[in-house]
Amino acid sequence: MPWTYDPQNIFARILRGEIPNKTVAETTHTLVFHDIRPHAPVHVLAIPRGAYVNFDHFAAEASAEEIVDFHRTVAQVIADLGLAGPEGYRAITNSGVSGMQEVPHYHLHILGGRVLGRLVDPA
Ligand code: 5GP
């Protein structure tokens, strides 16, 4: 398997309650909380409770229940934060070196509250 999970990563520590977070929503399989260094008026992070390194790890190995719970929880948060409909938002995930992933626990960034610009800077 190409994925090696580091149980000492900061989001694993948040999930164990060792580090506080500003929770937006939580379910059996999913936690959503405010990013500590927001890049937009709304910037929350959705993470599965399971030990998955990145998106492709989660998509390949999480159970159907975890995957459905994660996405339905994100959709509910998007609605609750007033981002659904024409207002809109951006959902992004980073992985590895090219993606400049900082925390090696799968997370989806949900950003909104302003026009966010182009997705990627021109090289
Ligand atoms: P990445 O670059 O891995 O996609 O994003 C990691 C995100 O985690 C960054 O936006 C960073 O601000 C956020 N982050 C890092 N440490 C903490 C923390 O201790 N608490 C919270 N709430 N967010 C964090």
Q: How big, in percent rounded to 5, are the helix, strand and coil portions of the chain?
A: 25, 20, 55
- Please tell me the distance between residue 102's alpha carbon and the centre of ligand 1 in angstroms: 7
When pLDDT is averaged across residues 93-99 and rounded to a whole number, the result is 97
- CATH number of the domain where residue 98 is located: 3.30.428.10
Report yes or no on 95 lying in a domain: yes
pLDDT tier, 1 (very low <50, low <70, confident <90, very high otherwise):
low
Which is the closest atom of ligand 1 to the Cα of 101?
3
Per the domain annotation, does 36 fall within a domain?
A: yes
What is the bridge-based pairing of β-strands 30-34 and 42-48? antiparallel
> What pLDDT is attached to residue 66?
98
| 53: pLDDT strictly greater than 90 | yes
105 is an active site residue: no
The number of folded domains in the chain is 1
Residues lining ligand 1, judged by CB closer than 6 Å? 10, 19, 21, 33-37, 94, 100-103
Question: For residue 5, is it within any domain?
Answer: no
Q: What is the pTM of this model?
A: 0.97
pLDDT in tens, 21-39: 999 999 999 999 999 999 9
Domain of residue 64 covers 10-112
**Is residue 1, in this structure, part of any structural domain at all?**
no
